Structure 1
Amino acid sequence: MLYKVVETSEVTDHSLEVLVNQWTAEGWHFDSLQFAMREGNRRPGMVFIFFTRDDDRSDQ
């Protein structure tokens, strides 16, 4: 299993949709996301998007 983490400070529905669509089109499977909050602010300052995919490398 391979993992990919994408981080962005542009936390809007549109920017997240673009990133998820971009990486799933490249064969990654959306796993989860985690917001990083700013102190004293209700909106997240950053988001981490996690993807997975099978490791196609054969053992040699």
Structure 2
Amino acid sequence: MQYKVVEIANVTDEEIEKILNQWTAEGWTFDTMHFAMRESSKRPSMAFLTFTRDDG
């Protein structure tokens, strides 16, 4: 199994959609999404999306 981690610095719904569509179109399967938060903001400062795909 292969893993792909994509970091998003500009966390918007449009950017998340773009990344999800880009990597799933290339054969990767979405796995998880994690957010890094700032103490001074309610919005995430970064997001990390992970994808997987079979080696074969």
Q: TM-score, normalised by structure 2?
A: 0.95
Aligned residues: 56
Establish whether residue 40 from structure 1 lines up as the match of residue 43 from structure 2.
no
- For 2:18, what is the secondary structure of its paired residue? helix
**How far, CA to CA, are the matches of 2:20 and 2:26 in structure 1?**
10
Q: Which runs of 4+ in 1 moved over 3 A?
A: none
The gaps in structure 1 that reach 5 residues or longer are none
RMSD across aligned C-alpha pairs, in angstroms? 0.6
The gaps in structure 2 that reach 5 residues or longer are none
Whichever of the two has the greater Rg, that structure is: 1
Q: CA deviation at 1:37?
A: 0.3
